[in-house]
Amino acid sequence: MNKSDYTVNKVKFFRGHDGDGFNTNLLCNGKVVATVDDDGWGGGYNFDWIGERTIERTNEHGMFKVTPEQNDFLDMLDSLPLDFTSEYFPEGMKLNGDCFIEPLVTRFDNMRKMKRALNSKIHFKIVGEEGIRFMKSMKYPNERGQKYITEKYPKAIILNALPLEQAIELYFD
């Protein structure tokens, strides 16, 4: 399995004891393989793997039983390069399931917010010689509104007209 084979869906956020939590499904090639939740009480995420059959897996801590889906996920995590972004681990650290899931959940939430925002207003960035100067929003996300913006701000980048991935990148930049 590759990193790109894994996605999340049905992300639900809630307020927990020690911060916000979430529930989500982890999918591999579109098939649900686990439910993942952060209960909002601190600590790691909880993975509930789908499937009854188990196989044995061995690591530096010993042997334990996992589902085939969990085994594939752990193999994929083992195949990833070390992460050197932590100041506490300058020698690099292996990504665990929590570190892998977090960006997927954030990306899913950003896409959901962006879709909602683009349906309610026209969002655009003004590009000047120094780069992007400011971002504005305007009601009426229709062709008339977009025409008005392009006439008034010729260097504007209208996010509504871009593919969603590109609009998200500019919006959250």
Q: How far apart are CA 40 and CA 151, in angstroms?
A: 48
pLDDT over 70 at 76, yes or no? yes
pTM confidence score: 0.76
**pLDDT surpasses 90 at 105:** yes
Per-residue pLDDT averaged across 84-105, rounded? 84
Span 30-47, average pLDDT: 90
For residue 132, pLDDT beyond 80: no
Confidence (pLDDT) at 27: 94
Structure tokens at 35: 């439910």
The whole-angstrom separation of Cα 33 and Cα 9 is 12
* Contacts of 125 by beta carbon, 8 Å cutoff, 6+ apart: 132, 133, 134, 135, 136, 156, 157, 159, 170
Token code pair at residue 105: 């959940």
Chain-wide mean pLDDT for the chain?
83
Q: 140 vs 91, which has greater pLDDT?
A: 91
The average pLDDT across 146-155 equals: 80
% pLDDT > 70, the chain? 89
Say yes or no to pLDDT of 156 above 90: no
45 contacts 37 by C-beta, under 8 angstroms: yes
Crossing angle (nearest 10°) for helices 97-120 and 164-171: 100
Q: Which long-range contacts (CB under 8 A, 24 or more apart) does 77-83 make?
A: 80/3
> CB-based burial of residue 7 (10 Å sphere; 0-12 exposed, 13-18 middle, 19+ buried)?
middle
